[in-house]
Amino acid sequence: MGGFLIFTIALVAFAFFMLAAGVKIVKQSETMVVERLGKYHKTLSSGINIIIPIFDKPRQIAWRYTQQTVTGDIVSVFKMRDRIDMRENVYDFPKQNVITRDNVVTEINALIYFQIVDPLKSLYEIGNLPNAIEKLTQTTLRNVIGELDLDQSLTSRDTINTKLRIILDEATNKWGVKVNRVELQDINPPKDIRDAMEKQMRAERDKRATILEAEGDKQSRILDAEGVRESQIQRAEGQKEAEILKAEGEAQARIRVAQAEAEAIELVAQAVNKSTKSDPVQYLIAQQYLETLKTMTEGDKSKTVFLPYEASGVLSSLGGIKELLKQ
pLDDT digits (tens, 9 = 90+) for 285-309: 666 666 666 666 665 555 555 555 4
Residues with Cβ within 8 Å of 20's Cβ and at least 6 positions away in sequence, in order, are none
Are 32 and 26 spatial neighbours (Cβ–Cβ below 8 Å)? yes
Where in the chain are the domains?
16-58, 61-189, 198-275, 277-296+303-327
Are 38 and 26 spatial neighbours (Cβ–Cβ below 8 Å)? no
Are 113 and 103 spatial neighbours (Cβ–Cβ below 8 Å)? no
pLDDT digits (tens, 9 = 90+) for 148-177: 888 888 888 888 999 999 999 999 999 999
Alpha-carbon distance of 21 to 56, in angstroms, equals 10
CATH of domain 61-189: 3.30.479.30
Q: Pick the residue with more confidence: 226 or 309?
A: 226
pLDDT at 109 over 70: yes
Select, from the ranges 66-70, 306-310, 318-322, the one with the highest average predicted confidence (pLDDT).
66-70
pLDDT digits (tens, 9 = 90+) for 265-280: 777 666 666 655 556 6
pLDDT for res 301: 57
